[in-house]
Structure 1
Amino acid sequence: MRLSRGVPFVAATLLVGALGWPAPVAATAVGEQHCVRQDHVRVPGAAFQQSACLVDLTTTGLAGTPHTDLADQAGLTARGTRTPTGVPGIQIDGYFPDSSRFNATHGWQHDAQFVIRLPDRWNGGLVVTGAPGTRRQYATDTAISDQVLALGYAYASTDKGNSGADFYRDGKRPGDAVAEWNTRTTELTRAARKAVAQRYGHAPRRTYMTGISNDGYLTRWQLENHPELYDGGVDWEGALWTANGPNLLTSLPMAVARMVGSARDEDLYAAGFARGSEFLWPYHERAYWGVTQKIYRAEFDPAYDSDCPGPSAGSTPEQIRAPCASDAAYDYASRPASVHRAVSRVALTGRIGRPLITLHGDLDALLPKAVDSDVYARLVDASGRGPLHRYFTIAGGTHVDGLYDTYPDRLRPILPCYRSAFDALVSWVERGTRPPADHTVGRPANGEVLNSCTLSTPVAPDAR
């Protein structure tokens, strides 16, 4: 029995213009094994790919080049976060066949873009991720890629097949755009495993799925539906989709109602928003709540309001982020069965087939954990998969670590806890060392939270 358990979106659509590719670095720059077999690596199924031999695959080495996009990472990590550097190897950028054109990275105007990084010193593993929110394939370079590359893993990330505030326009049926996120992640995982084998001579011995927010959702979905491809995963505040709720369309309308003055704070608490998170609400009103509700309502329930179909109804950033007044009264439970069927196409069940560690901040004001990860943990238990799951609540954690820079006395970054969770997953999978039981991770006695986190540090009883 478990201990008691107590998209998401990026507001700005960031555009990247066409950039030239630098000349390959000479192999002698870092050693004889640098970029060996670069010309032999072909990504199966890719419509286009371009590879480069680089002296450093981390963001420190790639900043200012077309091999990463720091703007698309904005807000995900706190200033002062320490990241490793100096990982030479091969980077492959490209795209799979796709009919949509939301992703302008490299000037390609083509979706289903991916990045694969193959370090010279390989530990035999592969880490797969995708873009959180509506970002693109480089979004988690600082948060995830840098660390796993330094550990020796190959790395692969996808834009999920559509991106930006108008991603809901992709597909023919309600739910198609989100459903594509799942198929594109599976597609990349299979292709990356084969690309790894071409580079190193054999397939990865271990493959891990991981991600933040929308890609935390993808991590859950992949371990439920394709456990044969992975050995385990770390889910960082994944979005929850269930056909009958809860989901974003059951919690966000109340937040929108508060924005337009038709709901009280007590109504938000009843909808799952945490007491103590009120200081974050003004920021979320400006950046997240209205536009996120519009996007997902337009994706799953396009018939609800023809006068306000989605973010494209606005022409300025303020109009795009503003809520539709009709969304304050949105009642998912009373919507037609067709809407619930659209959500059921991408719904989670909790039937994970591989070890999974979930992290969620107790001050998340976009995906409140009470109606998200708490519920998902119960789904895992109800499906009989509880022994495969660990769930850690991060005291003081919120949806994006960048807010720590504004509120260092109230928040803590989740990234250091994520890194500890990834290490714990590897120990669990590869050495049979089970992680601690579910609990709330409190602040360390020395107060250092920017670059350290010990999962075995439970919050003190009087601090709950």
Structure 2
Amino acid sequence: MPIVRTALTAGALTAALASPAHAHDGPGCGSGLTVPGAEKQVAACLDDLTTAGTTGSGHTVPADWAGLHAAGTRNPAGVPGIQLDGYFPDTSTTNANNGWNHDAQFVVRLPERWNGGLVVAGSPGTRRQYANDFTISDWALAKGYAYAATDKGNTGTEFYKDGRRPGDAVVEWNDRLTQLTRAARKVVAERYGRSPRRTYAAGISNGGYLVRWQLENHPELYDGGIDAEGTLWRAGGPNLFTYLPPILRAYPSYAATGDPSAHKALLKADLAPGSEFLWPFHDQIYWGLTQRIYREEFDPAYTGEEAAYNYAARPKKVHRAVARVALTGRIRKPLITLQGTYDSLLPIKTDSDFYAKLVRVGGKASYRYYRVEAANHVDGLYDSYPDRLRPLLPCMRSAFTALESWTQGGTPPPASATLSRPASGDIVNTCSLDS
């Protein structure tokens, strides 16, 4: 769940939407399209809906997707079509994109050459609606899919201030993706004259959590999903609160002296052996902040040190708040999960390994799970450690192609497996699901 970096270029985007370069107004440019339920929307016809074009025309915010891909990632370009930006009614104002200072913002992209499908996504971490533009939107658009994404209804490191009771902000995340999916399916039908033949949910980190939740709770809206390192919430654990406090307690001693007992405690918290080189970054950027802001969301009454937090001992109302957003594993449409073995924010043993067990027990649809050796939570770190890491994104794209064949042609993907890190080749842009 990468935490959002601030300093978004809202002013530049507002100016671009008012008079964008490489955009066209007039007949056929989306002015007649309506996103059902939207309080505001702005339409533009663009020469290129991918980030190669929208970065220059002002129809994306690169800060939203910064750090989520390796520098050498090759992306398609040159996909003309219509972009709809807007927002649904909401009372919170954490999202400054487009100069609107309004949450529940969305983006819908409708390529001229449509393949009959739709891909929907929620943002990872606490980022905004353009966060998946480089990792998911570009690739889906080039394949001919319509694409829609939401900011989840609240953003930034104070997202927990949204809502009236503990858990409300995260409950809204799920509601907003459901809302957008229904609306996007209708606007697609309006644009192309028929409803999408296939609708897929795809997401990374908190976006992966959303995919899991949607396929458990609203399978009627989707034909399948791609869950990349989705966050696991369970009222009885495991969850962030069962492993982050032990990490926060042990790491200072390990960092200062290499204390073997502290190292043992960190491994007991399910950090992977061999991932030690990633721990300083996560200590500086993620662990403490993540613990605090999610604890504020589910347990705002707690006043002690975050490292001393004992989830098991907290009042039942805290556990009930987590239960409101908990996952069960009872998916009802095909799902492919991927996670890196070196994930040091959401350790794989206490996250996707556990979720895969839940699916095997209660799932009512087909499932595959690929453990990606030496991938971590944020692909941007690959550039700092190219000899030790591998990006997760190419495996996510291979999984999407496999999901298409699975749901459209009946060809099952390779069996669930741990995908070994290749000794050679272009691991930034290729990934085989055959272990």
**What is the TM-score of this pair, normalised by structure 2?**
0.95
2-side partners of 1:154 and 1:380: how far apart?
29
2-side partners of 1:68 and 1:35: how far apart?
23
Aligned position for 2:401: 423
Q: Any residues of structure 2 matched to 1:206-245 within 5 Å, and which?
A: 206-245=198-237
Aligned position for 1:256: 248
- Corresponding residue SS for 2:357: helix
Aligned position for 2:377: 399
Summarize deviations over 1:205-257 as a string: whole Å, max 9, x none.
10000100000000000000000000000000000000000001111112211
1:412 to 390, 408, 415: 390
Aligned position for 2:178: 186
Question: Contact conserved, 1:40 with 1:199, CA < 8 A, in 2?
Answer: no
Q: Does 2:9 correspond to 1:16?
A: yes
1-side partners of 2:27 and 2:132: how far apart?
23
Report the alpha carbon displacement of residue 329 of structure 1 after superposing the two structures with TM.
1.2
Aligned position for 1:353: 332
List gaps (5 residues or longer) in structure 1.
1-7, 29-33, 306-324, 459-464
Summarize deviations over 1:366-397 as a string: whole Å, max 9, x none.
00010000000001111143x51100000110
Aligned position for 1:298: 296
List gaps (5 residues or longer) in structure 2.
255-260
Aligned position for 1:312: none
Question: Contact conserved, 2:46 with 2:83, CA < 8 A, in 1?
Answer: yes
Report the alpha carbon displacement of residue 156 of structure 1 after superposing the two structures with TM.
0.2
2-side partners of 1:362 and 1:447: how far apart?
20
Q: Does 2:361 correspond to 1:382?
A: yes
- Corresponding residue SS for 1:114: strand
Q: Which amino acid aligns with 2:270?
A: G
1-side partners of 2:305 and 2:108: how far apart?
42
Aligned position for 1:129: 121
- Corresponding residue SS for 2:10: coil
Shift in CA distance, 231/24, structure 1 to aligned 2, threshold 3 Å: same
Q: Which amino acid aligns with 1:328?
A: A
Root mean square deviation of aligned Cα = 1.7
Q: Any residues of structure 2 matched to 1:10-409 within 5 Å, and which?
A: 10=3, 12-18=5-11, 19-20=14-15, 21=17, 22-23=19-20, 36=28, 38-261=30-253, 264-305=262-303, 326-385=305-364, 388-409=366-387
2-side partners of 1:11 and 1:227: how far apart?
29
Give % identity.
61
2-side partners of 1:408 and 1:35: how far apart?
49
Report the alpha carbon displacement of residue 39 of structure 1 after superposing the two structures with TM.
2.4
Shift in CA distance, 73/11, structure 1 to aligned 2, threshold 3 Å: closer
Question: Contact conserved, 1:241 with 1:346, CA < 8 A, in 2?
Answer: yes
1:432 to 400, 410, 422: 410
2-side partners of 1:245 and 1:225: how far apart?
20
Question: Contact conserved, 2:111 with 2:146, CA < 8 A, in 1?
Answer: yes
Report the alpha carbon displacement of residue 446 of structure 1 after superposing the two structures with TM.
3.0
Q: Which amino acid aligns with 1:374?
A: D
Across the two proteins, how many residue pairs are aligned to each other?
A: 425
Q: Which amino acid aligns with 1:89?
A: G
Q: Does 2:428 correspond to 1:450?
A: yes
